[in-house]
Structure 1
Amino acid sequence: MSATLLLAGAAARWATRAQFFCSGFIFATWGVHIPTVKLHYGINEAELGLAMLAAGGGALLGLTQAGRWIGRHGARRTTAACGTVYALLLAALVAMPGYAALLALLALFGVMTSVFDVAINTDAAQLEAQSQGHLMSSMHGMFSLGGMIGAATGSAALAAGIAPALHLACVAIANALVIGTAAAFMLPGQLTRSPSPEAGFQLPRGVLLVLGALAALGLIAEGAIYDWSVLYMHQELGSPQEQAALAYASFSAAMAAARFGGDALRARFASASLLRASACLAAASMALVLLTSTPWIALLGFAGVGVGFANIVPVLFSAAAQVPGMAPARGIAAVAAAAYLGFMAGPPVIGFLAEVSSLTSALYLVVAFAAALALSAGRVGSRR
């Protein structure tokens, strides 16, 4: 019986890792094809920023319902439903009849992204609680690994001349199949349901407000890298698109490596110290990216940014899931809402600033936000 439970626990952990991997793969594929979307619909940086704002708005809307949905249906069923839709929406990115339809698609894409994200983080928090160890950083490492492989395969598809529509459709179908299959092996739904699923979304207060503010600072900067790094390499440094896609791959690969070692760091160092050091590294690395005109040095800089941002969200989400008197899904959703406000605001603000100045100048906001996170890290306290 104990051996069966051990096997079931191992299967549940790997199933959740697979969900994080798919989440990163899908998001990276969108990132690689941002220049494709810009060209396909004939839009400028400001209009592209508005499209990202639509996705961010949808994500924020999804977060207001995530706790309720997970409380009622459990993380497993929510993951299966929202994750499958999230994957399949990729196939429509370059199939919309016009810009307005693209905005609607990206809004729905954002809703599915955020609910899927809260569901898999809730499941990971429950697994971490059951094991009485640190798992969250390595789970997010799978997201970054998925991002790295998604960006690398996207770059290879562009280099091979594969039509973007075909590439997007293949990625969509493959990830939908993996998400649906892996969901069957996740924790039973009753372990992640809430005793009061009818309760609505709660704005972060107290400890959750502090965690949310720090997460917002991190995701403002991290989201800017996801959404603008490929275009920066392509437009500002003159790299061909297949090489420019390596900016995302470099960032994601370094982040994945750092996250797989992050659980050991979380066990050894206080959260405030780890967050402060991480944010300082991210700020310095991003400054290097913007000061160099050499593509390979910029790629090294993006890798440094990835290491710097690697453990910020895992630390904060894990802390949100352990707030006394709060169901893990609701704690994560509350902090994620504040984080997604940053994630939603950062990329379009950079787009508008790039329109009136340059993308290089606009990306100095990443340096500023990382520095602000370093200065504010002491608010987390000394918790390990």
Structure 2
Amino acid sequence: MQKDLDVDHGRVARSGDDDRRRRTLRRQRLSVSAVFFLTGAAFATWASRVPAVQDRLDLSAGELAIALIGLSGGAFVGLPLVGGLVARYGSRTVLCAGLAVYLAALAALAYAPGLAALTVLLALFACGNTAVDVAMNTQGVLVERAYERPVLGGFHAMFSLGGIAGAVAGGLAASADIGIGRHFPPAALALSAVAAAAATSMAPDPPRDTRDSGPMLALPGPGLWIPGLVAFCALMGEGVVNDWGAVYLREVTGSSPGAAGLGYAVFSAGMVLGRLSADRIRTRLGTVRFTVACAALAGAGAVTPIASPTTPAGFTGYALLGLGMAAVIPVVFAHAAARRPDTPGPAIAAVSAIGYVGFLAGPPLIGALASTTTLRTAMLVLPTLMLTMGILATRLRRPGSPPS
């Protein structure tokens, strides 16, 4: 009789432990989702009001381009450093510090007195964004590891949704003629409140006895070059669509300005839908087959508007590109983290650094090719990238296999 009671008590205790674990995981997942959402919203807040910033400081197109060098330069320089910081101090600490810099810089952008200050603030904004990006993806990987099934795609979907929310809010503020001084600081304050709430339920970092040692620069090593090159192809493709997608619709397909602008919205909608469905599909297919399928889908999307330069074909192609490229980055981040289970942050940072080179290089490459040939010919870069990505994806190796 006593033995039966002891067994029952043991079952109740285990059941209680399982319930607590599930509740903890749900809180961690909700917190990381909130961070992804607010990060996307913060960047879209800036991006949606760039014309207002330009008008306030009376910047020419060339001067604005100089300021934007701070944005891209700060991000690129920060990536390898952030990986080392995550390894030493943990993703939660770096995430909180990065959010503080990121949101403070967003608020300060409203008061930049001139071009030099704007450039410096954009560099700080980008550095904070980079720190948040690496740290929140590390958190996402830790939550995914605890769930023992893919969830990282859903986090990236929250980033996209946050971007849409921030862009809509920015558009409404611009339509209401609300200045950035009355927009950026309140937005940063509201997002800071969300960040503070999310910080209370972050996933614990893996124990690391040598956290104070190790390199500060997170550079690609064995096993990370292939996922890094996959990220390079994906982010170069994304950069090309971001900067040249609307131009292609306008100049090659003859779309109206409104339709050309809508092309990016179609691409973004495809990205959101792809990221929301990615985790379930990846669970069934596995990393390699899933990434190859993504490359094939994106490749079909890249070819469509080139083969048939019409507005409907352009919309179809951009939707397929968004669907195909949506989950590639979450997948390679998860794959890289699995190759370095004790130090996922530096692995993600190293892969991000390779990918970001592609993101920066893609738009100028298209511009150079278009100036010597035609824009339609130059856009053949996109299907070439997707083909290369598919081939590289077949070489994504599981942890424990020979290094790539």
Residue 196 (1) aligns with residue 211 (2): yes
> Hey, what's the Cα distance between the residues in 2 that align with 1:43 and 1:352?
22
Q: Map 1:6-155; keep pairs closer than 5 Å.
A: 6-37=22-53, 41-44=58-61, 51-93=67-109, 95-155=111-171
Q: 2:208, 2:342 within 8 Å by CA — same for their partners in 1? A: no
SS in 1 for 2:213: coil
Q: 1:20, 1:142 within 8 Å by CA — same for their partners in 2? A: yes
* Equivalent in 257, 274, 283 of residue 239 of structure 1: 257
- Matched residue, 2:192: 176
Q: 2:41, 2:163 within 8 Å by CA — same for their partners in 1? A: yes
SS in 1 for 2:32: helix
* Equivalent in 345, 356, 359 of residue 329 of structure 1: 345
Change (3 A) 1:52 1:233: farther
Question: 1:143: how far off?
Answer: 1.2
> Hey, what's the Cα distance between the residues in 1 that align with 2:361 and 2:381?
12
SS in 2 for 1:207: coil
- Matched residue, 2:324: 308
SS in 1 for 2:153: helix
Segments of 5+ residues of structure 1 without an aligned counterpart are: none
Residue 272 (1) aligns with residue 288 (2): yes
Q: 1:71, 1:196 within 8 Å by CA — same for their partners in 2? A: yes
Q: Which amino acid aligns with 2:257?
A: S
Q: Deviations over 1:298-317 (max 9, x none)?
A: 55543332211111001100
Question: 1:20: how far off?
Answer: 0.9
Q: Which amino acid aligns with 2:210?
A: P
> Hey, what's the Cα distance between the residues in 1 that align with 2:223 and 2:393?
13
Structure with bigger gyration radius? 2
> Hey, what's the Cα distance between the residues in 1 that align with 2:247 and 2:93?
36
Tell me: higher relative CO, structure 1 or 2? Use CA pairs within 8 A at least 6 residues apart: 1
Q: Structure 2 length as normaliser, TM-score?
A: 0.80
Question: 1:364: how far off?
Answer: 5.5
Q: 2:41, 2:162 within 8 Å by CA — same for their partners in 1? A: yes
> Hey, what's the Cα distance between the residues in 2 that align with 1:288 and 1:167?
40
Deviates more, 1:3-12 or 1:113-122: 3-12
> Hey, what's the Cα distance between the residues in 2 that align with 1:129 and 1:195?
22
Q: Deviations over 1:281-320 (max 9, x none)?
A: 33443455576564x7655543332211111001100001
> Hey, what's the Cα distance between the residues in 1 that align with 2:175 and 2:373?
31
Segments of 5+ residues of structure 2 without an aligned counterpart are: 1-15, 400-404
Deviates more, 1:144-153 or 1:246-255: 246-255
> Hey, what's the Cα distance between the residues in 1 that align with 2:376 and 2:292?
25
Q: 2:230, 2:389 within 8 Å by CA — same for their partners in 1? A: yes
> Hey, what's the Cα distance between the residues in 2 that align with 1:164 and 1:70?
33
Change (3 A) 1:84 1:304: farther
Residue 319 (1) aligns with residue 361 (2): no
> Hey, what's the Cα distance between the residues in 1 that align with 2:89 and 2:30?
21
Q: Deviations over 1:190-217 (max 9, x none)?
A: 5476733431224212210111111111
> Hey, what's the Cα distance between the residues in 1 that align with 2:59 and 2:20?
56
Change (3 A) 1:67 1:231: same
Change (3 A) 1:252 1:266: same
Question: 1:25: how far off?
Answer: 1.7
> Hey, what's the Cα distance between the residues in 1 that align with 2:322 and 2:97?
30
SS in 2 for 1:332: helix
- Matched residue, 1:250: 266
Change (3 A) 1:78 1:203: closer
SS in 1 for 2:211: coil
Change (3 A) 1:126 1:62: same
Change (3 A) 1:85 1:66: same
Question: 1:123: how far off?
Answer: 1.0
- Matched residue, 2:5: none
Q: Deviations over 1:243-266 (max 9, x none)?
A: 876554433332122112111111
Question: 1:13: how far off?
Answer: 0.9
Change (3 A) 1:371 1:106: farther
> Hey, what's the Cα distance between the residues in 1 that align with 2:222 and 2:164?
36
Change (3 A) 1:377 1:34: farther
Q: 1:212, 1:338 within 8 Å by CA — same for their partners in 2? A: yes
> Hey, what's the Cα distance between the residues in 1 that align with 2:163 and 2:229?
25
- Matched residue, 2:279: 263
Question: 1:229: how far off?
Answer: 5.2
Q: 1:49, 1:349 within 8 Å by CA — same for their partners in 2? A: no
Q: 2:340, 2:347 within 8 Å by CA — same for their partners in 1? A: no
